[in-house]
Amino acid sequence: MLKTEAPSPLYAELDLLPLPALVAALVGDQFGAVEAVRAAAPAIAAAVAAALPRIAAGGRLIYVGAGTSGRLGVLDGVELYPTFSWPRERALGVLAGGRQAMFEAVEGAEDDRAEGAAQLRACAAGPNDVVVLLAASGTTPFVLGALDAARALACLAIGIANNPGAPLVRDADIGITLDTGPEVISGSTRLKAGTAQKIALNTFSSALMVRLNKVYGNLMVDLKPTNAKLLRRAVALTMHATGADEASARGALEQCHFHVKVAIVALSRQVTIDQAQRLLAGAAGSVRAALAS
């Protein structure tokens, strides 16, 4: 039996626990997710290092999964646009059962290995693309089929699973094992296993974006201000980075369509918006390098 499917001896009488103890057990078990990701940190760092040159060369992030794992992959990709202005067409989600499966279970879709391969090929994936394949079990046929196709198409295949020695981890270019063990509720990998996957995805994509100069210090200076909250955040970030007052920060942002990077360089270097844009272009989008040039 897979570790993720095995009944945990710690919670054999879960249904008998008083409500406070039940909630405490469900919460407490989640700490195992953090420890699992911590143990996998070297493998995650290796994945970022391998992905960086392909993404910098114009490649895409393609997330593949089924059920909870697939939905978590879609979520990570979707959030890259507002957070880092990452182009939507460069973060794709391949979900067993298609778009419908984001909102409801599509029975049997995860069991079709050929369909996983076909869906990845339909993305016209190639050598610069980074395919992030997720499956708690590490044995999901749909995901393994996509892995077959990723390898055949010379993509970088990153396999993330929650069982040591799983085929997905073993056969990927870079395997990441999040060894979360048995769940509080036997086999419910939307719990601790899913939490570990979410942390690992956050870490992988965020580290990648930092290395792509989407962050200055620890400020998200390449956000896409698509709503009132993010517009306010753009102003606050510009003020924090430059020491400018709100009116000056907002004025600079309005001139560059609320591109925080450009406003920071323009205000800090006391140059025009056009000059700030040229400085950033010459520094590969790095605010720090543009300010030092």
Closest CA to 26 of 168, 208, 188: 188
Beta partners for 27?
none
Chain position carrying tokens 């962050």: 215
What is the β-pairing status of strands 130-135 and 174-177? unpaired
* Cα–Cα distance for residue pair 155/62, rounded to 1 Å: 10
* Cα–Cα distance for residue pair 155/220, rounded to 1 Å: 29
Which tokens go with 170?
């073993």
Closest CA to 177 of 35, 10, 9: 35
Which run of H or of E encompasses 174? strand 174-177
Which tokens go with 81?
């646009």
Contact 256, 266 (CB under 8 A): yes
Beta partners for 159?
133, 175
Contact 168, 139 (CB under 8 A): yes
* Cα–Cα distance for residue pair 176/157, rounded to 1 Å: 11
For 74, 112, 234, the CA distances from 123, given in Å and listed in that order, are 15, 17, 34
What is the β-pairing status of strands 156-161 and 130-135? parallel
Active site residues: 79, 110
